Structure 1
Amino acid sequence: MTEVHSARQFQNDPLASMRLPEFRFLMGGRFLFIMALRMMATLVGWWLYELTNDPLAMGLVGLAEAVPAISLALYSGHVIDLSDKRKLLLRGVFLYLSCASILLLLSYSYQHGSTKVMVVSGIYSVIFFTGIIRSFTGPSFSAILAQVVPRPLLANATTWSQGTWLTASVTGHAMAGFLIAAFYTTGTLVVICSLIVLGWLMLLKLLPKPPAAQAGQQKTWESVQEGLRFVIRTKEVLGALTLDLFAVLFGGAVAMVPVFAKDILKVGPIGFGWLNAAADIGAICVVLLLTLFPMKKAQGKKLFFAVGGFGLCIIVFAISETFWISFVALLLSGILDGVSVVVRGTILQLKTPDEMRGRVMSVNSMFINSSNEIGQFESGVAAKLMGLVPSVVFGGCMTILIVTTTWFKAPSLRKMEY
């Protein structure tokens, strides 16, 4: 009951959640883990383009991860709701470490005679397995949040969680570029494995997180259907997820950053790392600002304006041939995306019952995987068919069109406040 008392005492304190030791362990472990994964994603994109010199190869990475992640998303939500979330999370992080270790072995073997075909095939295989692991690990991080902090602090904890994720992303993206330049692929993978180990040790300090009392009373398919029905019935949740899905699906230019960096802007690994980190730098800045000064009203309208502005920034990035303009465009896109992330994450946490968190967060994960990884595949295919710059301009225009359409089709989301 001490934590509940603290929640009431510090409810208006921006640092309220961070005063809870277990929440700090969760955020510390998540920071190290996400930073390692973002470094891995940056490294794999650069590595594959170096090996193949083909934008489509990077698009196929997104597909390789998204297919298993999306296919297992609904089932994983059922499993999460029935499981001790701490054990599930620790198991998932350990399996990610195994995948990173295999990439390290592939890098070492390439230096000692393995063929490009063998290495590229190995990379795709590893990414496929990370998609399976991600379908359980990603939603577990979100679902465990409500068991670590009391409900009065949930909105504050959600903002801190998003800020932690984004800070880890920007750090991972930026560091990967520097590490690739300094230590090449093998050395960078050693750092990635080390960070995952440290994150696992932080998460080990969490207390057991058994399933809610109401969980486990339904068969698998009935449980999955209940989670889907909840998302469909809760119009604000469905609208926010749908808007994010299609906007990022068409507007995700980050997948093509290695090509822009190398072929258009003519920068090396360091410049590539900063471009890859630009959107996350903007996002973390705005999330920190929103942590100290939360949005008080008209969150729905702000969500629409943020996603529409995101599409406009993608168009500017596409047509730019100057490094600093490209960097600023991605920076602003991250600021606007950060607003979207905070609004969407807060809606999910506040609207979801404890016994359904695994299933709802898995549906959210399925939408995110669809928009990011399938969007990465769409970007690669579009670049191959339309050309690099026209494909990204097209994606930005489609994002703006989707926002305009949703504005009129989803009035409840437009009027939403919390």
Structure 2
Amino acid sequence: MAKTNPYAALKIKEFNIFLLMRFLLVFGWSMQFIVIEWQVYSITKDPLSLGIIGLLEIIPAFSMALFAGHIVDQREKRNLLAICIATFSLISLGLYFLTTDSIFKSWSTHKILYAIYGLVFFGGFLRSFFGPTIFSLVALIVPKKIYHNAATWSTSTWKTASVTGALFAGFSISWMGVANTLLLVFILVVLSFIVVFFIKKKPILNTKIGEPINESLKAGVRFVFQNKAILGALTLDMIAVLFGGTVAILSVFAQDILHVGSEGFGILNASISMGSIVTMFITTYIPINRNTGKKLLISIFIFGVSIIAFGLSSIFWISVLALFISGAADGISMVIRQTILQIKTPDEMRGRVSSVNSMFVGSSNELGAFESGLAAKIIGPVAAVVFGGTMTLLTVGATAIINPTLRELDLTKDIEDHENAE
């Protein structure tokens, strides 16, 4: 197999524009998440309130996922993404107004909290469209033979934006205050909206335009459940994320256990994504096509161990290191999953398959946030994190035993076929 140029996708001008748009959007989105988590816990001092944020996001995101995938496969992707970004900007603007001094003086704490929850709910509804649209758009910008390279750069850009957004948000809360930070988020989202129009409109590759929605949804679900590689990877990642998530209660650790303030809170969040970025850039030079299944299992096992280490740590630098390692392991897992999806999904089904992916993995982030918040409320934050990491390790062990298809997965031939495609 000819060695793939690690910068192959970056030679395509429109793909670079796409990466810029995604960076601006995710940077702002990441900042918004951090600020809202910080603000809600500052108002309530209740870890369960952080879990509620995740629950309110998963309900619309999960319930709308399949329908969103159907719509994405039936519509032009560039304009649909622009609509999603424009709507998200309105949510960001609303959150800004909810944190201004005038609102704090005239509204009760409960009213502000419920209004924040309401916007989070609508954000979850909107998020069900973002994933399938972006996933489908990438495949229309780059040729098939470099799908796996584009997937790595796209995921790396997302993680880079996440780490810098999370890090900047923690300091920005201290420097500018919550309201001004959210105003900056709104500006970044508007910039991403402008940039997206530098991408040309794309053809609709679905040959079944107007297909009855029930048949369309069944076809998408059927494809995922019949493809053992995709189903195995998504299931493993879903369970690991569900029980191994710590992001939702990091503000509890920052304020009540490590006592590091908003700056330390930003560093804790950023350390996770920084680990992911390092490994994802490495995978552009060292592809994960050989022994893919084993690498996936090992990476999630390391993720579980590092989560347990974080839960048991009361020293800030050890906590940061543990989260960095968890992010590094998670980064490998993400690259493997995105590569499997890009390579094994037909063009006409990308929206629906990505929607199923969001139901498995994306929604498990929010459900995991609720699980973490509820567990922290019942048994305390330390025990909750250790329990989650332990469940992740048990899941990896069980998957390795009962799913030999995933364990022996190797993408070498699939990637060679794409690289040799005309």
Fold in common (TM above 0.5):
yes
| 1:210 CA drift (Å) | 3.0
1:7: which partner in 2? Answer: none
How many angstroms apart in 1 are the aligned matches of 2:49 and 2:143? 45
Matched, 1:141 2:134: yes
1:152: which partner in 2? Answer: 145
Matched, 1:104 2:96: yes
1:236-257 deviation digits (Å, cap 9, x = unpaired): 0000000000011001011110
Alignment partner of 1:354 out of 333, 341, 347: 347
Matched, 1:82 2:74: yes
CA contact (8 A) 2:206 2:347 kept: no
1:34-83 deviation digits (Å, cap 9, x = unpaired): 11101000000000000000000000000111100000000100000000
| 1:111 CA drift (Å) | 3.8
How many angstroms apart in 1 are the aligned matches of 2:257 and 2:96? 30
Give % identity. Answer: 44
Matched, 1:243 2:229: no
1:410 is aligned with what amino acid?
N
1:89 is aligned with what amino acid?
L
How many angstroms apart in 2 are the aligned matches of 1:125 and 1:209? 34
Matched, 1:48 2:26: no
2:14: which partner in 1? Answer: 22
1:149 is aligned with what amino acid?
V
1:62-119 deviation digits (Å, cap 9, x = unpaired): 0111100000000100000000011110000000000000011111133433211111
1:137-166 deviation digits (Å, cap 9, x = unpaired): 121111111100000010100000110110
1:121: which partner in 2? Answer: 114
* SS of structure 2 residue aligned to 1:366: helix
TM-score (norm 1): 0.96
How many angstroms apart in 2 are the aligned matches of 1:346 and 1:72? 24
Deviates more, 1:110-119 or 1:329-338: 110-119
How many angstroms apart in 1 are the aligned matches of 2:263 and 2:95? 22
Matched, 1:340 2:343: no
How many angstroms apart in 1 are the aligned matches of 2:70 and 2:132? 11
Aligned length: 410
CA contact (8 A) 1:318 1:389 kept: yes
Matched, 1:209 2:199: no
How many angstroms apart in 2 are the aligned matches of 1:215 and 1:88? 18
2:305: which partner in 1? Answer: 312
| 1:27 CA drift (Å) | 0.7
| 1:385 CA drift (Å) | 1.2
How many angstroms apart in 2 are the aligned matches of 1:250 and 1:43? 23
1:245 is aligned with what amino acid?
M
TM-score (norm 2): 0.95
1:324: which partner in 2? Answer: 317
How many angstroms apart in 1 are the aligned matches of 2:91 and 2:344? 35
How many angstroms apart in 2 are the aligned matches of 1:182 and 1:213? 49
1:70: which partner in 2? Answer: 62
CA contact (8 A) 1:11 1:152 kept: no
Structure 1: segments with no counterpart, 5+ residues: 1-9
Matched, 1:60 2:72: no
Question: How large is the Cα RMSD of the aligned pairs?
Answer: 1.3
Matched, 1:393 2:386: yes
1:132: which partner in 2? Answer: 125
- Kindly tell me: are residues 213 and 128 of structure 1, through their superposed partners in 2, closer, same or farther at Cα, counting changes over 3 Å? closer
CA contact (8 A) 1:159 1:342 kept: yes
1:371: which partner in 2? Answer: 364
1:194 is aligned with what amino acid?
I
Moved over 6 A (4+): none
* SS of structure 2 residue aligned to 1:112: helix
CA contact (8 A) 1:158 1:345 kept: yes
Alignment partner of 2:86 out of 86, 94, 112: 94
CA contact (8 A) 2:206 2:349 kept: no
Structure 2: segments with no counterpart, 5+ residues: 412-422
CA contact (8 A) 1:83 1:210 kept: no
1:352-382 deviation digits (Å, cap 9, x = unpaired): 0000000001111111233200000000111
1:161-182 deviation digits (Å, cap 9, x = unpaired): 1101100100110000010010
2:28: which partner in 1? Answer: 36
How many angstroms apart in 2 are the aligned matches of 1:105 and 1:213? 41
Matched, 1:173 2:166: yes
1:202-239 deviation digits (Å, cap 9, x = unpaired): 11111112321413252001100000000000000000
| 1:11 CA drift (Å) | 7.3
2:179: which partner in 1? Answer: 186
